[in-house]
Amino acid sequence: MVKSAGISAVVIAGLFAGSSALAQQGAVIADGASLKPATVVLAYYRFGEDEYPDSSVRLDQFDAHLDVLTEPNINVVDLPDAIAALDNPDVPDDGTRQIAITIDNAYRSVYEEAWPRLQAAGLPFTLFIATDLIDGGADAYMTWDEIRELVDAGVTIGLRGASHGHLPALGDLDLLKDIRHSLSRVEHELDITPRLFSYPYGEYGNRVINVVDGHGFVAAFGQHSGVMDGSVNRFTLPRFPITEQFAGPDRFELAVNALPLVVSDATPSDHALADPRPQVGFTVARDMGELNPLNCFASDQGMLQQTRIGRRIELRLDEDFAPGRARINCTKPETRLVPRSRTRTETRWRWLGLHYYLPQYETEIGGLEP
């Protein structure tokens, strides 16, 4: 059994002080030299558990997704390979869409419904687990033996910590214990050391990022929509959450065909907020083309007013964010020629998702979906 080292005050200070994740893009973990630098990452949770529509997809929806994902113009890649490809030079669009599949929490329906379908289709995926949920032995979750079966078949395992708690709400010591305990349990049960992390509920801030980066992870994912590409910090990578409400054919096609909306100098720099009405802004890269029409929408507030200075965009919130999770999505349509065609055009959407966490002034463990 791999034992966690003791947590000293010096170690705590070092882990929370500063992180290479906040200053640079991080390391690679696989050979993705032949892949594109941009990948649409899909985030699934439950399958066919219709009593949980906020975290499940219907089986007919998932079957339709698999039909799309096995089309000739879709290339479903292993997530570690996609991360390794983030620093690849951009390549001409050949009409293919590069997709990675992730599944969070190891619900039993993953093993009984999703896994057989994905295995039959030959599609790779990454399973993010919270170790306390597995150790609890509840019927709703997979067992360690079942997870070992997936590992033996080549499925990548990532972590969500131990408790599946609201990590920004944990104190420093509890946060360290949560991450270290989850690593110890996976190393003991599966004899592997995960290098990919998924923030429970998509919640993170600089303090959480520093701890995740300080424990050997090379990339971490939220639950904000967008396209993973080389411009995004490796510890704030986006995914499109796929639940019943967002699993219809039109929405799925929109996600699969999405393009990155590349920005820089985004504010606020910490996604764990101190101000319930933050000053949100970013600068759009020149190769993103004209800024019109670019629209931004905040959760529970609708379209946001913009102030523009050159390519700098500042957003004004009409109301405070409520405690807990908050999102802003910015989208911009782009019409282009279909590859290898001189006349046919297609419209795809550039997408930027921003995810924030406003403290609720108490530690919460579990209880929310997903």
**For the segment 137-180, what is each residue's pLDDT rounded down to a tens digit?**
999 999 999 999 999 999 999 999 999 999 999 999 999 999 99
- Of residues 275 and 345, more confidently modeled: 275
pLDDT of amino acid 9: 43
Shared-domain flag, residues 221 and 347: no
CB 335 within 8 A of CB 245: no
Mean pLDDT on 77-88: 94
What is the sign, positive or negative, of the torsion defined by CA atoms of 131, 134, 140, 146? Answer: positive
Structure tokens at 329: 């999505």
Question: pLDDT digit string (tens) for 226-240?
Answer: 999 999 999 999 999
How far is the first Cα of the chain from the last one, in angstroms, to the nearest whole number?
Answer: 30
pLDDT of amino acid 264: 96
For residue 119, CA distances in Å to 127, 147, 155 come to 14, 14, 10
pLDDT of amino acid 30: 52
Shared-domain flag, residues 176 and 230: yes
Q: What gap in Å lies between CA 228 and CA 232, rounded to an integer? A: 7
231 part of a folded domain = yes
For residue 288, CA distances in Å to 92, 98, 225 come to 15, 19, 18
363 part of a folded domain = no
pTM comes to 0.90
160 part of a folded domain = yes
Structure tokens at 155: 């499925």
Single-letter amino acid, residue 298: A
369 part of a folded domain = no
Shared-domain flag, residues 15 and 155: yes
Q: What gap in Å lies between CA 225 and CA 229, rounded to an integer? A: 13
2 part of a folded domain = no
**Which H/E stretch holds residue 67?**
helix 59-69
- Residue 12 main-chain phi, psi, to 5 deg: -60, -45
| Residue range of the domain that includes 17 | 9-259
Question: pLDDT digit string (tens) for 328-365?
Answer: 999 999 987 777 667 788 889 999 999 999 987 544 43
Distance from the Cα of residue 291 to its chain's centroid: 26
pLDDT band (50, 70, 90) for residue 7: very low
**Which H/E stretch holds residue 240?**
strand 240-241
What is the sign, positive or negative, of the torsion defined by CA atoms of 27, 30, 36, 39? Answer: negative
Shared-domain flag, residues 158 and 234: yes
Q: What gap in Å lies between CA 80 and CA 18, rounded to an integer? A: 25
Mean pLDDT on 75-103: 90
- Of residues 220 and 292, more confidently modeled: 220
Domain end point (choices 259, 282, 306):
259
Shared-domain flag, residues 143 and 274: no
DSSP category for residue 113: I
Q: Is the pLDDT of residue 93 over 90?
A: no
CB 253 within 8 A of CB 68: yes
307 part of a folded domain = yes
HSE-up of residue 354 (Cα within 13 Å, Cβ side) = 27
pLDDT of amino acid 36: 84
Domain end point (choices 224, 259, 294):
259
Shared-domain flag, residues 149 and 213: yes
Mean pLDDT on 5-24: 48
Q: How many domains does the chain have?
A: 2
DSSP category for residue 89: P
306 part of a folded domain = yes
Question: pLDDT digit string (tens) for 208-227?
Answer: 999 999 999 999 999 999 99
Domain end point (choices 259, 276, 308):
259
CB neighbour class for 22 (10 Å; exposed up to 12, middle 13-18, buried from 19)? middle
Distance from the Cα of residue 281 to its chain's centroid: 21
Q: Is the pLDDT of residue 5 over 50?
A: no
> In this predicted structure, which of 28-42, 101-115, 219-233, 247-261 has the lowest mean pLDDT?
28-42
Q: What gap in Å lies between CA 214 and CA 222, rounded to an integer? A: 18
Q: Which residues contact 260 (CB under 8 A, 6 or more apart)?
A: 38, 226, 227, 228, 229, 231, 232, 350, 351, 352
Q: Which of 324, 21, 15 is nearest to 172 (CA)?
A: 15
pLDDT of amino acid 145: 98
